[in-house]
Structure 1
């Protein structure tokens, strides 16, 4: 499929409520289906919370019992590869006949570690792969583990070569290069960053990688938190709008096709034509004719091969 409609979803999950969030995901995917979407991207940690504003009872040198119980709440609203919730997401993708990329809190029940991940589902409903964040930012390091590079995944699909990074991984030049060297054409960037400067980063990546960039963020207000958390000093100190969004779709020459969307929930769509990737590489290609392999070399430990999907 050389040209098709893609969507980025800007919304909030039902924070810390896995079942209600899954129902909302199903509704949003249904809306994408009605729009004739072939590829849909959901924000970072959409299942079931990006725990913005929370410290989990930590200071350097100590952790509180209440903070541990809150982390348990985060764990309980997270999903595991292959579990019933993961399978349900696959059925949603199959029912809507679209390729689904969705940010999740992924629990590893063997190690007891949580990861900030993207789960990728084919239009046949198969979990074709995932990406775990290789470097959580700041306080995120308390709640999420680090990937070892074995999920720096890319997929060769009928919609083009799809891959991506999560939030501030996109500020890591070598992480971006790991995507470019696989020939990524549809670059996905789920995030929790709603600053104006994020828009410059997304346009830069489109120009640098000569790829379409889809960036998806949550729209979150303080009132969306469960009552017991809204009553804490941590959340009371937060602004009423805690994440204003900024989801956007950008073409391989850095032109904005849709968005950015601010201060509301919504679904952005745009027509992606893979010929535009080829045309953009006429004068720049970071892994081809604009590369200097006589001067530079680059390799990634543990990065998997491209997975080709029928």
Structure 2
């Protein structure tokens, strides 16, 4: 692993609520970023198939059809879109961080706000589900779990990821810091309406994201990739055509930005906000080391005799099924010297067959 790596933050719109077309667009962007020399390519929050900004614009009783469409277009981890991304990562030798709305094999209406980190060999290195959907996102996504609170080794360094508001969760952030994180990816929506402009407008979303990203990078002594979605004309027109009265909220809500921060919290590299594109930055991972001498919150600058953090990284499931007959017993029986006939019987066979 070299000390200096080139990373990319994708600042792009999906093909709104079309997972297949958005995945195809993502692959085109990945190829462009790879040609630009990027070793790590990070996409925004739920890039596939879209961020459900409508949940901020209308009451939930008016959005049933959009929820049904969102669930229908969400992405299965074992589905065609993730498989295509894995092939592309392996073909190009790049690491991909992809935000998805994830479907569930256990419920047709259960979806999560998730992130998948794919390595240059095509392997899924990490699969994170957002711990707590934020504000109106609770009308769309279920709560995730701690299984994805992991920092993983990649050729671009040790990479961790948190989604949007999770970057304000000090315990989630500390869990990643305590795994020697060198590059932190934070993914964001294209806009975040919280109130009507006539009521005083929204908080400064770009400044808020910058504060959160800089705080984490300063505390972790890690580089930060801030990758935000983009609202294109097609997405805007879709929402306005549904209800023209929201035009004021949409057009007067600040658009998110994609940028980078260094281990001191300072911004560097490219910045994108009002146009689609790919932002790039060069990260010298050696710069993560010296600041640790000044202030290492997972090293000498802490009191582990006073504080004790435990993180449950178990993947949660709705039910555990224990069948009366299990094929899993076969290896145990074989190890104990059981006959083939006995193993067949325990596997549901017939001793007389």
TM-score by length of 2: 0.79
Structure 1 unaligned blocks of 5 or more: 305-310
The reply to whether residue 110 of structure 1 matches residue 121 of structure 2 is no
What is the CA–CA distance in structure 2 between the aligned matches of 1:57 and 1:136, rounded to whole Å? 18
Whose Rg is larger?
Answer: 2
What is the CA–CA distance in structure 1 between the aligned matches of 2:296 and 2:119, rounded to whole Å? 28
Q: Which residue, out of 74, 83, 87, partners 2:83?
A: 87
Give the drift of 1:81.
Answer: 0.6
- The answer to whether the Cα contact below 8 Å between 1:220 and 1:243 also exists between their aligned partners in 2 is no
Q: Which residue, out of 215, 222, 226, partners 1:204?
A: 215
SS at match of 1:276: helix
Give the drift of 1:9.
Answer: 0.6
Pair 1:241–1:16, CA change in 2 (3 A): farther
Equivalent residue, structure 2, for 1:188: 185
Give the drift of 1:244.
Answer: 2.0
The structure showing larger relative contact order (alpha-carbon pairs under 8 Å, at least 6 residues apart) is 1
Matches within 5 A, 1:96-245: 96-111=92-107, 112-192=109-189, 194-221=205-232, 223-225=234-236, 227=238, 230-233=241-244, 235-240=246-251, 244-245=255-256
Pair 1:227–1:257, CA change in 2 (3 A): closer
Any idea what the Cα deviations from partners look like across 1:219-274, whole Å, max 9, x if unmatched?
21464246476332464443237662311111111121224322111111111111
Pair 1:228–1:298, CA change in 2 (3 A): closer
Pair 1:235–1:48, CA change in 2 (3 A): farther
What is the CA–CA distance in structure 1 between the aligned matches of 2:270 and 2:12, rounded to whole Å? 14
The reply to whether residue 36 of structure 1 matches residue 37 of structure 2 is yes
Give the drift of 1:57.
Answer: 6.5
Equivalent residue, structure 2, for 1:302: 313
Q: Which residue, out of 272, 276, 279, partners 1:265?
A: 276
Give the drift of 1:22.
Answer: 1.4
- The answer to whether the Cα contact below 8 Å between 1:222 and 1:230 also exists between their aligned partners in 2 is no
Equivalent residue, structure 1, for 2:299: 288
What is the CA–CA distance in structure 2 between the aligned matches of 1:185 and 1:18, rounded to whole Å? 31
Give the drift of 1:172.
Answer: 0.9
Give the drift of 1:106.
Answer: 0.4
SS at match of 2:256: strand
- The answer to whether the Cα contact below 8 Å between 1:203 and 1:250 also exists between their aligned partners in 2 is yes
What is the CA–CA distance in structure 2 between the aligned matches of 1:72 and 1:284, rounded to whole Å? 48
Pair 1:226–1:267, CA change in 2 (3 A): same
What is the CA–CA distance in structure 1 between the aligned matches of 2:44 and 2:240, rounded to whole Å? 22
Any idea what the Cα deviations from partners look like across 1:95-141, whole Å, max 9, x if unmatched?
22110001000000313310000111111112222110001111101
Give the drift of 1:152.
Answer: 1.4
Equivalent residue, structure 2, for 1:75: 71
- The answer to whether the Cα contact below 8 Å between 2:8 and 2:33 also exists between their aligned partners in 1 is yes
Structure 2 unaligned blocks of 5 or more: 193-204, 316-353
Give the drift of 1:164.
Answer: 1.5
SS at match of 1:249: strand
Structural RMSD (CA): 2.1
By percentage of residues, which structure has more helix? 2
TM-score by length of 1: 0.89
Pair 1:291–1:103, CA change in 2 (3 A): same
What is the CA–CA distance in structure 1 between the aligned matches of 2:156 and 2:125, rounded to whole Å? 14
Pair 1:238–1:95, CA change in 2 (3 A): farther
Equivalent residue, structure 2, for 1:307: none
Q: How many residues align?
A: 299
